[in-house]
Chain A
Amino acid sequence: MKELMLGNEAIARGAYEAGVKVAAAYPGTPSTEIISNFAKYEGVYAEWSPNEKVAMEVGIGASIGGARTLVAMKHVGVNVAADPLFTFSYTGVNGGLVLVSADDPGMHSSQNEQDNRGYGLFAKLPVIEPSDSQEAKDYTRLAFDISEEFDTPVMLRVTTRLCHSQTLVELGERVEVENKDYKKDAAKYVMLPGFARDRHAEVEKRMLRLADFAEKTDLNRIEWGNKDLGVITSGVAYQYVKEALPDASVLKLGLVNPLPEKLIRFFADQVKRLVVVEELEPVIEMQVKAWGLKIEGKELFSRLGEYSPEMIAERLSSFKLDAGFGLEKEIPARPPLMCPGCPHRGVFYTLNKMRLTVMGDIGCYTLGALNPLNGMDACICMGASIGTALGMEKARGEEFASRVVAVIGDSTFVHSGITSLIDVVYNQGTSTVLILDNCTTAMTGHQDHPATGFTVKKQPTSRLDIEALIRAIGINAVKVVDPLDLAQLKTALEEELSRREPSVIICRRPCALLEKDPVREKYYVDAELCTGCRLCTRIGCTGIYYVEDDKKAVINSNTCIGCGLCPQVCKFDAIKTVEV
């Protein structure tokens, strides 16, 4: 029986079968399950790195050391890793290296929807794009051969819909690949200008050889149908095209950089109308247009979000979608929200109540920006909170800074908050940083990181002491508070904000989802005492809600885990513990 596998599991499997020995990543949706699955195989090394740049560098070292190596990250992670990546493109590999970029069209769980095929052109890398889990496994295997044959890192570009779809996969055997010999070769690996100039010339030659390979490889194939319409497509969009336009001729590209110019010209000659169906940016379209061919693309399809079979059918066939029932207009939206018992909730309730300016960061706590908590002013990228808070202070002065905080999670702080905190000390900032330490990387599904004391394989390891690190940076004002104790939190904030020096408050409590027996106490609303003021609904918890007919609040005993936050908010002592 073939196995049903997520695209991400299939990539891990492909790397395993290809003989990969070393893998590194920082978790990020939709890429996380690649390394968490790879780590389950025996006899391989895998790590959660502190961030994507480090993951890339570990990968580069392993490749120079001669091992086949897998590095995985979400699309915006490649921005973090771009510095080593661009120059590694010049040095080339020893053992094959494949970098998986998991893009997120539609921004299911991301702050932007950049199209990382652009990195192929920019960093001069071959880019391979599978369209289902079988291809994800097969192409990953093949990518290692290409990497070694052409002396280049290879980017495997996937999207959320592939990463998180399960399709059937035929498994293969692992090939044990010996490490390549390591020989000192400064002209190849030391990128001083003199050496780098020679390497750049090699890169240009490599891209020509790859362009020639693109014409011949099975990664690119034509599926002939009716020649009135010819569609060039790649990735999961290929599946939508086959569903929507079963009769069309299709040129399916598995290697999307460099493009097979001759093959595309040949295909264009054979069909009456040529269309490219590619999600996000017109990466293929612009190149085909530059060759002087007539092709339609973004005049038919959006640069925004994901595509669907019905969208393609509507634009390119006589198919018309029914109007539908129109019910979605009558129903409220359901944005994601913090879980009942989440330690972040009280923090944002307090920050909003104190009317502070909050420079935010990436994690579950970014949800603190939403109504009714409304506790965040800005969120840009991983680690940006502390630097942006310092910038705010330099623009608007110390007085303003006494009302500004940065909030950053524990995993995000280790990822890229530490250097900005050093900047605050070095350049004499005064603002207060809140480290929301829930002892895990929560949003992506509870991965370990350097401050949890466990590796990706759940082996105990040295645990980063966040307090000691902060003191070593030169910050003396460090406090640890329980974020579910609102009075303690408020006092700490008042003290630290009034300080004319940098300070850190660590709000420490494990993620509510990590607790094995989460229900601590049961609460109920005493209807006699409840005045219907609705203050308790301001914490935005699904465990407590307001009943319009009775003008009273009610606790949902199925969702409430008894974190004790709402009784602290109630001014009338109406929320009480259930007597056992």
Chain B
Amino acid sequence: MQNQNKNILIAGVGGQGTLLTSRIIARTAVQMGYDVKVSEVHGMAQRGGSVVSQVRYGKKVYSPIIRKGDADIILAFEKIEAARWLDYLKPGGTIIINNIRVDPLPVLSGKAKYPDDIADKISSFVEKAFVVDADKIAESCGSIRAANVVMVGIFASVFGIPEEEVKKAIQYLVPAGFLEINLAAFDEGKKIFIELNRVK
């Protein structure tokens, strides 16, 4: 089951904007001439549940879903969502963890505990695990809602994707009124990954 395709798994909580992230990445790959498949979650899970979207691109892609142990990168928008999908990461793959905690219903109602040390645990298993404050970075760019595009910036940096290709996709997909904030968020995402990588 080895192949040369690139597999990107985007995990988060319904309402965090994971769909836009996968659509920007997919459109970038289409612009670059690849075969592309994207799998999304619509419907009930979008109401605050655990959601995942998956992008696969390469010369020829069959399955729209990534098999376990085959994701080149996981972009996790929330800490425990990073852990929930970690088994999908390829050995040697990269995981980016947005450093926020969103309590799920069992925690809110006191039936379960939130494992606060979960990001450290992931880092102990995975060499290329990076914790980022995407929400804070997005806020400094003008809106917390652009955290998803901060993650796109990190993705572009990890994969060495030409900046202008991604920006073209962002311009296509983001409404004009929010474009400036999102382009800034993209730039900050690119920068922060270079810094984090240097520290590591």
Contact = CB atoms under 8 A, between A and B. Distances in A.
Contact of B35 (A168, A335, A372, A545): A168
Interface stretch (B104-112, B151-159, B182-190, B192-200): B104-112
Interface string B42-56: 111111111000000
A161 B106 contact: no
B4 to A, nearest CB: 13
Nearest to A313: B1
Interface string A135-154: 00000000000000000000
B49 A337 contact: yes
B105 A335 contact: yes
Contacts of B149: none
Contact of A334 (B13, B31, B63): B13
A108 B113 CA distance: 26
Nearest to A109: B43
A208 B84 CA distance: 50
A219 interface: no
Given A328-B84, A445-B42, A540-B109, A242 B118 contact: no
Contacts of B68: 308, 310, 321-322, 324
Given A4-B38, A167-B36, A327-B83, A333 B65 contact: no
Given A534-B110, A542-B103, A331 B30 contact: no
B115 interface: yes
Interface in A161-202: 161, 164-168
Nearest to B37: A167
Interface stretch (A295-303, A363-371, A421-429): A363-371
B106 A371 contact: yes
B48 A339 contact: yes
A292 interface: no
B99 to A, nearest CB: 14
A546 B110 contact: yes
A537 to B, nearest CB: 6
Contact of A337 (B35, B42, B47, B125): B47
Interface residues of B, number: 59
Nearest to B22: A166
B69 interface: yes
B110 A334 contact: no
Interface in B7-58: 13-15, 23, 26-27, 30-31, 35-50
Contacts, number: 190
Contact of B40 (A2, A32, A164, A336): A164
B118 A331 contact: yes
A243 interface: yes
A332 interface: yes
Contact of B38 (A30, A165, A443): A165
Contacts of A33: 42
A367 B103 CA distance: 17
B59 interface: no
A334 B80 contact: yes
Contacts of A330: 83, 115, 118
A310 B125 CA distance: 22
Contacts of B122: 327
Contact of B37 (A166, A322, A444, A541): A166
Contacts of A244: 1, 67
A338 B49 CA distance: 10
A550 B49 CA distance: 27
A459 interface: no
13 contacts: A161-B65, A166-B36, A167-B64, A236-B64, A308-B63, A322-B68, A330-B118, A333-B112, A335-B104, A336-B46, A336-B49, A534-B110, A542-B48
Given A240-B62, A313-B1, 12 more contacts: A4-B27, A30-B43, A161-B39, A164-B42, A166-B38, A240-B63, A244-B67, A325-B86, A330-B115, A332-B104, A333-B104, A371-B111
3 shortest interchain CB distances as A-B pairs: A109-B43, A29-B43, A336-B49
